Structure 1
Amino acid sequence: MSLLHLNIEMKLYQIISLVLSILCLVYPLLGYVPDDNYLINCGSLNDTTIGDRVFMADTTNNFDSSVLSTPETILVSANSSSVSSTYGSILYQTARILKGPSNYKFPIKKNGWHFVRFHFSPFHHDVYNLKSAIFSVSAQNYTLLKNVQPGNSVEVKEYSLNVTSNSLVLDFTPSASSFAFLNALEVFSIPDELFPSTIKMIDPQGELETLESRALETVMRINMGNVSVSPHDDTLWRSWVPDLSYMANANLVQLLRNNAVVNYTEGASTEYIAPLSVYGTASRLHPSGDGESLVNATWSFDVDPGFSYFVRLHFCDISPPDPNIMIFSVFLNSKYADRTVNLSIAGAPIYRDVGTTINTDPKINISIGRTGVLSTVPDGLLNGVEIMKISNLDSSLDTADSRIQALTTSSKMKPWIIVISSVGAIVVALILGFLIVFVFRRNKKANMVHTTQEHFTTYGKDNSLETSMFSRSKMSYRFPFAEIKEATDDFSESLIIGIGGFGKVYKGVLRDGTEVAVKRGSSQLDQGIEEFRTEIEMLSKFRHRHLVSFIGYCDENNETIIIYEYMENGTLKNHLYGSNLPKLSWKQRLEICIGSARGLHYLHTGSDKAIIHRDVKSANILLDSLFLAKVADFGLSKTGPDMDKTHVSTAVKGSFGYLDPEYLIRQQLTEKSDVYSFGVVMFEILCGRAVIDPSLPREMVNLVECVLNSSKKGELEKIVDPHLLEDIKHESLVKFAETAEKCLAESGVDRPTMGDVLWNLEYALQQYINDKRPPSNNDVENNPTFTSLSTTEFSMGSVDDLAGVSMSKVFSEMVRSEIA
């Protein structure tokens, strides 16, 4: 080959390479061009341009009339043009009325996934009121809508269908004496990569769901960072709504926005999966440094029960540069969606696909938070979420065909089931009738007593009783707002004795001279009606000398106020650190621990179902004038599992630093979660310092890790509160520390019960007392009552906690036998 020919080939190669490079750069700018692309502005006389797309009027010659089959041609227009939406108002000024069974039949060039979007704007017309329309829609034998009646606002219903034939038929069927309508319609093919052929289900665990043979309905498309994304900014003309209104605790996240750092070449996602506008914004878990924050950031979405759902999660680290790799877990309804999301490459977009079945609770909760590694700081971010309903085995997406409803409303019940149901209904009715009479008589009697009690009188007219959020049995605790203002000198700032996430606590004096603590919920900080209700229900249900006593409440004028006994010495936390109060002795600390353990043990065992406190911490242990400890603040408390269950599945709530890691990871709550938190409190008591203290060297910031490391090295005395060094005794210290360590076992089954903790604490106290004085052989002999107390009686917990009897003497004989 000559040199001339070689040069010519080289030039051609360079030109071809240059052309290909230019095409690679230009093609993304052209956007996505679907093979099938049908955009219709129904009832319009003119084509409509929206962004780079043209919606064809279905009344012009350009529209293929064979596409639509309908008995009558009825076109209507809106009386006004005030409608607004992400598509603007122009699509919603006209509509086509479909009086009888009608269908759109679209030729399909490319088999595969297609988006189908119906636009409904139920405006009022002089002849046809679109709000009264009732109709059904189906496609490819899938039921999309059944006897639907549009609401009052614009609604876009989006479906994803895997078309396997050469045409797609959309059927509209009006109900009897009604009609169907449509403002606009989109049908276009989408990239094959958009949906996987199968997804792994996390509920039922490990099963695979095949998507290719199902239809999907878009339920939610959320963009994190509280930024909306319009169809004009999405490659596939999708609409993404801001996330903040779906957040359980918006104060936990930091909103990020940084489009410049997103780099699709580094990640597994593409711009078809989600646009730059989604990966360039994020909500990042950002707990405050006060140690009171919830650990997980959670978004909650309403869904229809009785269906399976395809959930897609989008991630891209757009945070400021940080040498630490962001690793976190993602939970979907208390189950792992991903145990370890690793965003090791900044700006690299990735996504995760999971599936779940929603049986009864109509919610999908998505949480991000710390992995199971205790040393990691809570972190994580989320860029976007897509939730799509999967058609069921009846090939339906409509709620009327929910598998739950199908089970409960079946008309094919066997006769014997109907007979049993009827008899059961009669029995239930008789029981309810008896209960109503019984409650009525009891309330009548209670009201007679009630009128003689000045402070428990309910002021105002009868309607105040009807509007109260509590049952009549709680009415004897209801205080008028005027009396509470009087008791607190109109909520004087000088009477504030505490401030927390709920608001402020005031010291008050009732008319009979009783000193009380008045906990007033703040409208700015908002403790929440549910927590207010929970605390009152819990406090009024139980009476125990180591649980703070409930006196009353007020729910007038949108106030959320709880009144309970005044505890002169405030919180345990203030006596351990952060104040100038006198330091507690080791004996006082042990007795406070024992009292608190008794209160928690009673909660766990004093009724048919355990009560789990869920927020055990030193700030929630109060001390009276004699330093008697009482557990307080039941706003987050939860009833424990049934006898045949091991746990309660619930969103993570509590205080940072005290949270049970097992509960944090699995969102499965048990009494052992309280045991873990109590173990942390025991370390606080031992060391006299905060659970998390960022001012200390790194290895000492986390109290639990610091104590456990010191214990392993045999250097426990080095981290003990210096005020205790001359008072504490080695045997008592070792017993106390061993008990606390057992409480902090990683797995709940390895932790002791509160009853076991209580026995060990009493033992540690007795060891301390025996080290302080010579043992006397007459102690136990002179007190036979204590030695005859059975283990069964103690473990069950009597109502008055053994009438205030100390368990110390129970241990006297045991300790002496060891000494001997």
Structure 2
Amino acid sequence: MSLATGDEKESKPSTSSLPCHCFELSEILIATKNFDESLVIGKGGFGKVYKADMVIGSSVVTAAIKRLDSMSQQGATEFWTEAEMLSKFRQCNIVSLIGYCNHESEMILVYEYISNGTLDDHLHKLNTSLSWIQRLNICIGAGRGLHYLHTGTGMHSGIIHRDVKSSNILLDENWGAKISDFGLSKVCPTNQPSTHVNTHIKGTYGYIDPNYFQTGMLTRKSDVYAFGVVLLEVLCRTRVLDGRLYGEDRNLATWAQDSIKEGKSKHIIDFHIRGEISLKCLKEFVKIVEMCLHNLPKHRITMAEAVVSLERVLLLQEKFNKELQSAGITLFDRMVNLLPFSFNKENSVQDDSKLSSDSKDNTKSPEMKGDPAHFQSPSPSVTVFEFADLEKATRNFSPDLLLGEGGFGEVFLGWVEQNTLAPSKQGAGIAIAVKRLNKKSLDGHREWLTEVNLLGQLAHPNIIRLLGFCMDDDERLLVYEYMPNKSLDRFLFSDTAEGLSWGTRLLIMIGVVRGVTYLHSANLIFRGLKCFNILLDEDFNAKLGDFGLVKCGSVSGESHVSTRVMGTCGYAAPEYISTGHLTIKNDIYGLGVVLLESATGRKVIDFSRPDEDRSLVEWATKIQSKRRNVKKIMDPCLGYNYPLQGASKYVALAFRCLADKPKDRPSSEEVLQSLEHIYANYK
């Protein structure tokens, strides 16, 4: 949200003073095809931005054309400020102005086209995978651009940008940063560091220097403050304003500063880069942030100092990475610091906080601070097992103890002592399930890491409990609590298995949806919903298993994670398959498939059936479209031992989950409420 108080009237500069190209309106109209909406690449307070090819002499240049909206609160002042200033700037970290057009009511600026959009886009909208090294380089580039404005423009006066934010940092094809949008910029003397400009307050909430807001005195240190906020955005990957996360009376800067003061700086790091940052680099980076955000402007560092400090952090990180490579340390060693137990790594970011325990209510979702890396979950400690002990516990992975097999590898039954988890004799102590990675699995190691990281922090009655893991040379194993009734598919699809009653099926699905709701409340997308991953304990309570495909996402149905499509045929939502865009509504689609499977007793894809009936969803959709009795869909094994009205509502709920448009699918909370209502009426 932008902020502007008061009016600032500035005289229009002479067009002869602008060295950039002056375009005729007709040239703009030809290039943009009369401002064709299909060419719009962005929109802001000034107006729309179009991508078009401009002819300049004998050259054709791809440009970004910003057209002033006649209804915009920004206007002539910002237009001429930007045109005059940008025409004089020549620096690789400042966006270049190609030209302008001023024709009657039309005010248009023509910039060089920057192909990768804004930093804001990649942090908060596109969920782009940006490494820590990439982020540091972006920060350094942006810092150099601001330093140039403050002191190196070649003018007698420097420039205060006054609207530094991630959406005004553009990224080129090589992820180089360029400062843009100079409509609010002000000129200030370069030879007087403490000089301020008395001006009406303008800027963007969350980035505005509190001292400037309170006093109206604008200095270069106001830009430094905003740059410090951008540094936090890059580190935390959370938006500057988020009432749900920080509370209505705080923003990213105040929330992060409080966390740093409490010694919880490791908790605010973006989950995706948490395993990449060395402890020393984190400490140095946090110091830079603190010096940028100091309450008193005179105690803040200059942009030159910020850039030098960031360059030092980059060198430290590169040195750290080289040391890891030379020592032969794997990706696991970088990510192991995400685990909730102590591991002897001296120079990587580790979570030294103790996981909280809440014995009263272990169904609560983890407390999130912008990402699942910040769980304060009530999960138990995770044990590091020796390979020899797991061999002994499973009788050297005896074939007669094989519980199942999947893409990851084989799962074996084993026994350990209840208190020590040391290997015990068969039938003594407690049973465990040991999943052993197939060494030929292409995705196994990555999925193993995901499970170790996430399941070590999750604690919920409907989530499988991870007891520990083992990493020994090329061996990767996971140790879970044993689920004696194995998985749901065993009871739905096996000819020899005893069928499940209607009431039991309802309770199983209620447990499944409770687990999914817990994950979604933590901004986690399960991506593995299928009957094979629904495990059942001795009382047929359902627990979600197999977290190798889990992705961090957003609870918003509009945002997505761009990712390689992974999942199981038949369960993956159609929009995910076609676009690779992953949202929590993909899980809801998978939930709809499982609801249908549990109601019909049919597999999602059954190659033993005729071609036209192989797909469960298509088969059931045809029956529903002909308005046939729900009995045509229900599992014959139930023998009509179910309430017709309840079954009808159950099937209708499944089809709501299977809606073509993600926005038309219910949330997991809605599904849970509907199932609980159906079960309450059944009892």
Q: Please, what TM-score do these two structures have when normalized by structure 1?
A: 0.41
| More strand as a share of residues | 1
| More helix as a share of residues | 2
Q: Please, what TM-score do these two structures have when normalized by structure 2?
A: 0.48
